[in-house]
Amino acid sequence: MNQHQSQTTNYSPSRAQLKVLAEDFYELTKPRLSFLSVVTAVVGYLIANPARDFAILLALLLGTSLAAGGAAVLNQWLERDADAKMVRTRNRPIPAGRVQPAHALLYGLGLGMLGCTLLYTGANPLAGSLAAATIASYVLLYTPLKQLTTWNTIVGAVPGALPPLIGWSAAEGSISTFGWLLFAILFLWQMPHFFAIAWTHRKDYARGGFVMLSNADKHGRLVAVQSLLFCIALVTASLMPSFLGYTTWGYGSIASILGLYMLRPAFRFLRQSERDPAARKLFIASICYLPALLVPLVLDVWLVH
C-alpha cells in the first residue's frame, strides 16, 4: 500500500466518525420538538403584526432555535440515567455512551446562553428574558418534577407555551391579550397531547422512574377524563380570538371544525375497551390539529384584518 492509499484509509474512518458525532449532537437538540418551538414563536411574531424587520426575524429564528435546542440537551443530560432504563430513549446519545455527559452539559449551556443573548440583543430584552425563563422552567422545574409528582405535565406545559410569547414580544416589545390567548391555546393543547403519549408509553415511563398520571391511574379513567376536559378548554380558547374580534368567524368556523376533530378521539378515550387505540388516535389528532389551527389563524390576521 502506497503512502497516498494509507492516508486515504486513515482519513475515511475519521470523517465517518465526525459525521456520526455531528448527528449525535444534532439529535441531542430534539430537532422536531425544537422546530415546534420555532414555528410557534414565528406564529406569535407574525400575528403581532410586526414592522417586517428582517434582522429581528432572523434573531428570533436563530435565538429560539438555539435556546430550544439547549433546553433539550440539558433535559437529556439530567435524565440520562432514567433514559437508559427506557426502551424508547436508551439509544439516545448520552445513555448509549456516544456523547459524554460533561460534553453534553457544556453544549447545552452554550446553546442556551447563545440563544438567549441573540434574542436579548437582536430582538429586545423581553424576548431574551422569556427565552431564559423557558429554559429555566423546562430544565429546573419540569425535568426534576417528572420523578416527583404527577403535576409535572401541567408544569411542563408552561415552557412549551412560552415560545409564542417570545415571538410576540420580539414584534411588539410587550405582550397583549391576543398574545396570552396564543399562550393559552398552546398550553391547553399540550395536555391531551402529552396524556396520550404518557398512556401509550406508561410501562416505559414506569421503568424510567417517572411519576406520570398514566401510571398512578391504573385503569386510565382519570387520564381520559382530564384529556377530555382539556380538549374542551382548548376548543373554547381557540374560539376566543373570534369572540373578542381579533379574527373573523372564517377562522372561527375552522377552529370549530377542528375542535370537533379533537373531541372525537377524546370521547373515545373515555371507553376502557377502546383506551389504547383511542390514545394513539388522540395523539395523531393533536399533531394534525395544531398546524391546521395556526395556519388559518395567521392568514386571517394578515389577509382579512
pLDDT > 70: percent of the chain? 95
| Residue ranges of domains in the chain | 15-173, 176-305
- At 192, list the grid cell: 391531551
Q: 15-173 has which CATH code?
A: 1.10.357.140
CA dist 267 and 39 (Å) reads 29
Global model pTM greater than 0.85: yes
Residue 7 has pLDDT above 50, yes or no: no
176-305 CATH fold: Four Helix Bundle (Hemerythrin (Met), subunit A) (1.20.120)
pLDDT tens figures, 219-236: 889 999 999 999 999 999
Q: What is the pLDDT of residue 8?
A: 45
Contact 250, 300 (CB under 8 A): yes
* DSSP state letter for 124: -
Contact 37, 106 (CB under 8 A): no
CA atoms within 13 A on the CB side of 108: 24
pLDDT tens figures, 42-59: 999 999 976 678 899 999
Across residues 211-223, what is the average pLDDT?
Answer: 88
CA dist 185 and 171 (Å) reads 19
